[in-house]
Amino acid sequence: MPLYSFEVSSGPVTVAQQTAVELADRSAVWDRVAELARTTKEPGARLIVRDEAGETIVSIGLWTVRNLVRKPDRAA
């Protein structure tokens, strides 16, 4: 299974980091991204995900992730 690294930073400061995370495939990355967005409360934080080769495959603000994965709690 492929390995990924996840880094959450706020400006120049790394506030969370997970390395050598084994996931079934690239689609599983998004579940981990959503979990980090739920558990990291640093304002203005950004998440970068790299694959085994060191290539950036995701670079996104946590505020954006939270809004994309928010479950509707009311009827439209």
- Going by pLDDT thresholds of 50, 70 and 90, the confidence category of residue 76 is very low
At 21 the pLDDT is: 94
Q: Is residue 10 part of a domain?
A: yes
DSSP 75: -
CA angle 1, 26, 41 (to 5 degrees): 110
Q: Is residue 74 part of a domain?
A: no
Q: Is residue 55 part of a domain?
A: yes
**How many CB atoms are closer than 10 A to CB 65?**
21
Amino acid at 69: V
Number of domains making up the chain: 1
pTM over 0.75: yes
Q: Is residue 75 part of a domain?
A: no
Q: Which structural domain, as residue segments, surrounds residue 29?
A: 3-69
Identify the helix (H) or strand (E) that includes residue 53: none
At residue 11, does pLDDT exceed 50?
yes
Give burial (CB, 10 Å; 0-12/13-18/19+) of 42.
middle
Q: How far apart are CA 34 and CA 38, in angstroms?
A: 6
Q: Could you report the per-residue pLDDT of 21-68, keeping only the tens digit for each?
A: 999 888 899 999 999 988 888 888 999 999 999 999 999 999 999 888
